[in-house]
Each structure stands twice: as C-alpha cells, then as structure tokens.
Amino acid sequence: MRSVFVVPILLFFSFALSAQEINEYIDLQIHPCMHVPYSFFGDGLETFDEANPPELTWKHQFTNVNYANYLRKNKGARILCVGALTQENIASAKRGRKVIMKQIKYVNDFVAANSDDFAVARTPHEVRELVQSTDKTIIVHSIEGGKRLVNSQEDANFWAEQGVAFITLVHLVDSKYGGAANQPVFALKFLNFSSLFKKEEKRGLTEKGKQAILWLANAGIMTDLTHMSDQTRKDALSLMQENGIPPLVTHDMFKPIQNQPRGLDEEDLLKVYANNGLMSLPISGESCMPYKPRADYQAKLDALESYCNGSIDSYKFTYEEVKAFLEKNLSEDEVSNLSIGFQTDFNGWLNHHHGRYGEDGCFEANPDSTYEAIELEGLAHPGLLESHWRLLEKEGVDLEPIRRSSEKFLQMWEYVLSKKGNFVTR
C-alpha cells in the first residue's frame, strides 16, 4: 500500500524544493491565550512599558510571559504557531468550538490592532509572501487537543476555514480518538487516572481517531501526533503511511534519552521521516532532562566535561543526539535537507530551563567572564530565544536543521492542501 503513495509525495516535495525556500526560526507551538480556558493565567499579547519591564523568571509555570514586546521582531522565532486549546474536561462540542474561536478571535483582533508588526497567515503561500516582503512576526493558527472538536468532515472543514494548519489530536487525557501519553508527573497521571487501569495495547487509535485524521487531511489540515500514547502513536503512523499523510510531531521527545510515553522510540522516529514528516523537540531544558536513559546515552552524559541538567544543556544534548541518530540512519539526500523543529510552549503548563550559572544554575559565574543572557537567566521569556540560539552557535551546534524546519513545515502543509478531498475515508 505504501508504494502507491510514496512516489506522489516524493515528487511533490521535490517540486516544492525548487520554489524559493524560507529559512526562519519557527516556534511550532506557543499559547498566548491560556487565560481564555484558564482565567488564572495573565492575559497574553499585552504590551508593557519598556521603561518598567516585568520581573520574570524561568519559574513561570502559571504566569503569562507572552508579552507583545518580546514577540515583536523576535529574531529567535519569526513564525509562531499559536495553539488554541480547551479544558481537558470540556463537556460538549458546542462549548469546545466556542472556547477555541474565542482564542482565534483574540489573536486576530490583536493582529488587526498591531498590523505594523504582526500578521496572521492562513495558508503556506501567505507565510512565504510575508517572510519575503515584510519584517513582521507571522502567526499561524493551530489547536492543541482535538477533544469534542473533530466529529465530522464538516467540523474539519470549519477549522480549515479559520486558517488552522494543524491539530494536536490527543492532549492530556484519553479521548474518543485514542490514548494520551501518561507522563511521569503524578498530577498528569492523576488527571488521566482511568487510563492507568488499561493495558497499553488497549489504548490505541480508535476508529473515530482514524476518521478524524482522514477528515483533517481532507480539509487540508495536518495532524500532530504529540501527546499520544505509544500505541496510539504507532497506530496513527501506520494509518498515515497507508494513506500518504505526512506525520507532524511538534513537541515530543526521544525515548532512548527520555524513557517515557512522550518519547518516540527509534522505529517511530524513522517512520516520521520515512513518510516525509517532521519531528520537533520541546526547547525547554526542563522538558528535555534525561529520564531513565538507555545505557549508551547515559554513558555519553557521564562523559561530558561540563553539563548542567535542566539548563540549555539538556536541550542541546537531546537535539544533537537526535540529529546524529537521523544522520546515521537516513539517506544522503535526506540528511542534506534534514529538518528538526522546536516548540517553546510559552505559556503552557511548564517552566523552562534555568541558567547554567548563578543561584539557580550548576556553576558559579566568573566575574571576569562574559555570558549570554540565557546562561544566567535561563529561558524566562520569548525575548531570550535569540540568546539561546546565539549561545548554541558559539558552541559549534549546527542550527541549520532547525532553521530548515520552517520550509519543511510549509511543504507538508502545502502537500496536504494539494491533496485535500482525495484521501480515502473510512
């Protein structure tokens, strides 16, 4: 079955490469509208007085950090995928749509009032035009958590009409689509408590989940596999392979280093790329901290001369090891165009990484040394992303796969749009 779809996909991506490529940092998910479903978050996209900036810390789990000041002309993330989301206990399709639409409107209204600096792109073509002809920060709509939102082809078409590029089908709790990854954090296990009594093989992609992926593809919307349980993800990858749908993973991890359900094993990671998909890592060093890593990766960690767990070092280690694994296992042509995305999750439910030096770091700062802000402050807000990339570049990290992820993302979106209405429904 796979051979029927691989050739058309390869031809499309080869054609797309001949177009003028973009090479920008794209944040594959931030949440400036968390105050809509969860009112205790501060309002996102507000502007502060530059003479009196807010005091922010990397410990900002329940505090807005998405100030417009930091997102305007942000060299660390030119394109922002803004993820709208619902409460995990959302009770009805009507309520779910209302909550998502309120967030989309909030962003659209903000952009309309700040059009000199921001723009919403509803198609890949609009993204390309804005990159090439403006210096604006570009916003793309996405949705994290499809619960109650995708019940028919009409629902999928509705979200496409809003300019939604992708939907993370499963979020923190099991749904009618499939199982959610139970992370080691107790609170998240408790949230998805009933799943703890089910065998993993019984928590796969459901028939409705399969239909939802096909409905979304037929509307020109990508499906994000992030947050799926191991079995649900494997089922989704098989379905997408059979139907020629490129898989997107916006912020899961790498199981040999982060040995938990949010981690992709080596087989699944290679399947993502074998089907012209894209893997993207969470940028936070806290999210990328090793968890029961495989012995060979633990040995690599132990051999590092200088490593500060939970700082930028944890992201750096994961990114470089994922990159090395893919370079070893993909073809020469695939490696030459390798793309690995990133996602900040500003301001989701997490803190970000702490600094290397100082009170929250692992080492004392040398008063005679000059440090990047990211080394001292950690990742406290989006305005520090430029420092994050600059430090990695200084340390010899190859950032081109990260910058190429914006082009890869657009090619995937273009492909799904070009095939919409032609994917086989169940």
Whether residue 358 lies inside any domain: the answer is no
Kind and range of the H or E element at 84? Answer: strand 79-85
What totals of helices (H) and strands (E) does the chain contain, helices first? 15, 11
Render the burial of 15-39: b for 16+ CB within 10 Å, e for the rest: ebeeeeebebbbbbbbbbbbbbbee
What's 245's domain CATH number? 3.20.20.140
C-alpha atoms less than 13 angstroms from C-alpha of 339 in its C-beta half-sphere:
29
Copy the structure tokens of residue 150: 């995708």
Query: What are the DSSP E strand ranges found in 169-306?
Result: 222-224, 248-249, 253-254, 263-264, 278-282
What is the pTM assigned to this prediction?
0.92
**Does residue 261 fall inside a structural domain?**
yes
Alpha helix ranges (H) inside 74-141: 93-113, 124-133
Question: In Å, what is the CA distance from 151 to each residue of 143, 215, 267?
Answer: 15, 9, 31
Q: Is residue 375 part of a domain?
A: no
Question: How many residues does this entry show for the chain?
Answer: 426
The pair of structure tokens assigned to 148 is: 């109650």
Query: Is 23 in a helix, a strand, or coil?
Result: coil
Q: Which domain holds residue 99?
A: 2-306+329-349+398-419
Residue 360 lies in a domain: no
Label the pairing between strands 164-168 and 222-224.
parallel
Locate 320 and state its tokens. Answer: 């470089």
**Which residue bears the tokens 């080691």?**
184
Structure tokens at 42: 């501060």
Residue 413 resides in a domain: yes
Helix axis angle for 207-219 and 153-161, nearest 10°, is: 40
For tokens 């490129």, the residue is 246
Q: Give yes or no for a contact between 270 and 338, defined as CB atoms under 8 angstroms apart.
A: no
Q: In whole angstroms, what is the distance from residue 413 CA to residue 168 CA?
A: 14
Domain count, the chain: 1
SS3 180: strand
Report the alpha-carbon distance of residue 98 to residue 100 in Å, rounded: 6
Alpha-carbon separation of residue 277 from 125, 270, 312, 413, 425 (angstroms)? 19, 9, 26, 10, 21
10 Å Cβ neighbour count for 214? 21
Among 30, 51, 56, 31, CA closest to 41: 31
CA atoms of 250 and 28, how far apart (whole Å): 6
* 270, 364 contact by CB (below 8 A): no
First CA to last CA distance, the chain: 16
Residue 59's CB: how many other CB atoms inside 10 A?
14
Cβ proximity of 30 and 347 under 8 Å: yes
Would residue 389 count as lying in a domain? no
Question: Mean pLDDT in each 10-residue stretch from start to end of the chain (426 residues)?
Answer: 54 55 97 94 94 94 94 97 92 94 98 98 98 97 96 98 98 92 70 68 89 98 97 97 97 97 97 98 96 98 96 98 98 96 91 95 94 97 97 98 98 97 80
Tokens 């916003």, located at residue = 139
| Position 46 in a domain | yes
Distance between CA 137 and CA 53 in Å, rounded?
A: 21
Euclidean distance between CA atoms 14 and 21, whole angstroms:
12
Contact criterion met (CB below 8 Å) for 121 and 179: no
Please report whether residue 231 resides in a domain.
Answer: yes
- Residue at 280: amino acid letter: S
* Phi, psi of 180, deg, nearest 5: -100, 150
pLDDT for the residue 12:
59
